[in-house]
Amino acid sequence: MQLEALLNYPRALPAMPRAVTDLLGEMNKEDPSPKRVGELIGHDPALTTRVLRLSNSAFFRVSRKIGSADEAVALLGMTHVRSLVMAAALGASFKSVPGIDLRQFWRYSLRVADISKSLAGVLHQHPGNAFTAGLIHAIGVLVMHIAMPDAVAPLDMATPPFDLTRAAAEKAIFGYSYADVGAGMAEKWQFPPEMVSALANQVEPFEGEAYDPLGGVLHLASWRARAEEIQLDEQGMAATFPDMVGLTLGLDLDSVLGKDPSEWSFSQALSAFTD
């Protein structure tokens, strides 16, 4: 299936709930209203429940339990709330995907989000944008499995979804990878251009004319999370570390490993995606 056909495949891209569409419209304004954002979240009980689960998870280390959408906006800020809304919407939208263990997928994605946020802080990038980009960086994997399960299944056998060479294998077979699909989806959902660019460039953030620091953060964070997922040892990590991406960003292996999540399982946050 060609990329354009895939992105227009009716069942591959779940429709965003009306509440989420309205929320993104408000949050994309130059001066969004925190009160209006809290109201819009509160209008959708299922969305509110998922947002509060994520708000109170270990990611944000809040000093007290957040009990309402208004509190989430006040304590976490607009950028993090955007992340939570998108996370909650995606968790609700992808209920079953052929060939994918969704609990494993979202655990991995949460790991990438957490590492991306930490690396962004070191590099003086926007941590909230990095968190959101990390969370959705592999959404293209789900879309490809939904739209063309028969074509993807043999690839899964040869090169599993979390293999370090997965993107290259997809490119060789289909002419595009999950990164291209995810960027196309983010563009359809009207994500900020810098986030669409980071998703598109995450596999090769500094190749050719591309110079995409946020894409570089995603590249390093996804490498680290995949290394954990496939249980690479120290020697394996040293051998596979993306040296050129790290060098361009001024990060070596130890500095990336130093941003590992304090908790790899994310059991509390996972409930927002899998329940």
**pLDDT tens-digit readout, 129-167:** 898 899 889 999 999 999 999 999 999 999 999 999 999
The domain that contains 33 carries what CATH number? 1.10.3210.10
Task: Print the domain residue range for 176.
Answer: 3-274
Which pLDDT value is given to residue 88? 73
Amino acid residing at 18: R
**pLDDT tens-digit readout, 165-211:** 999 999 999 999 999 999 998 888 777 889 999 999 999 999 999 99
pTM of the model: 0.89
Domain count, the chain: 1
3-state DSSP helix/strand/coil percent for the chain, to nearest 5?
A: 65, 0, 35
- Structure tokens belonging to residue 244: 């050129």
Distance of CA 120 to the CA centre of its chain: 14
Kindly report the CA angle at 67 between 50 and 275, in degrees rounded to 5? 20
Residues near 62 by Cβ (< 8 Å), separated by ≥ 6? 55, 56, 75, 76
**pLDDT tens-digit readout, 14-52:** 666 777 778 878 877 888 888 888 888 888 887 788 888
**pLDDT tens-digit readout, 231-246:** 999 999 999 999 999 9
Who has greater pLDDT, 79 or 226?
226
